[in-house]
Amino acid sequence: MSDTNCPYCGAEIEINHDDDYGYEEGELYEQECPSCGKSFAYDTSISFYYRAYKADCLNGGEHVMKKVVRAPRVIGGKEEYRCKNCGHTENRRSVCSVNCGKNKTECWQCKDAK
């Protein structure tokens, strides 16, 4: 896939961005065409694409929370949850998997289960 075409010979060209060269908008950069050997100038234009999603929780509905999985899983006895629709985050108390009601970091059964 090419980035542009040579303004002299029309060859497809991939812009060389070594060392982050050529990314600044409003600047002119130069590059040589590998096909015809002529140098040309180019500028950079960055575009954004947006996708819209329904987020009923932003309109009075309930958040759809999912646990954020990362290491370490439990920090200070809380796990992070994020709404899959709007990105809202909450830290919730991490409860033992054997339902003893204790925090996972305090329960000897949870520690032994690791």
* Long-range contacts, stretch 73-78, CB < 8 angstroms, 24+ apart: 74/104, 74/105, 77/103, 77/104, 77/105, 77/106
Q: Is residue 65 part of a domain?
A: yes
Q: Is residue 8 part of a domain?
A: yes
Q: If residue 108 lies in a helix (H) or strand (E), which one and from where to where? A: helix 108-113
Distances (CA, A) of 109 to 31, 47, 71: 64, 53, 20
Q: Is residue 17 part of a domain?
A: yes
Residue pLDDT, tens place only, 10-21: 999 999 999 889
Same domain, 61 and 109: yes
Q: Is residue 49 part of a domain?
A: no
Same domain, 60 and 103: yes
Same domain, 26 and 63: no
Residue pLDDT, tens place only, 25-38: 989 999 999 999 99
Residue ranges for the chain with pLDDT beneath 50: 113-114
Same domain, 26 and 75: no
pTM here?
Answer: 0.45
Neighbours of 87 (CB within 10 A): 9
Could you tell me the residue range of the domain that residue 15 belongs to? 4-42
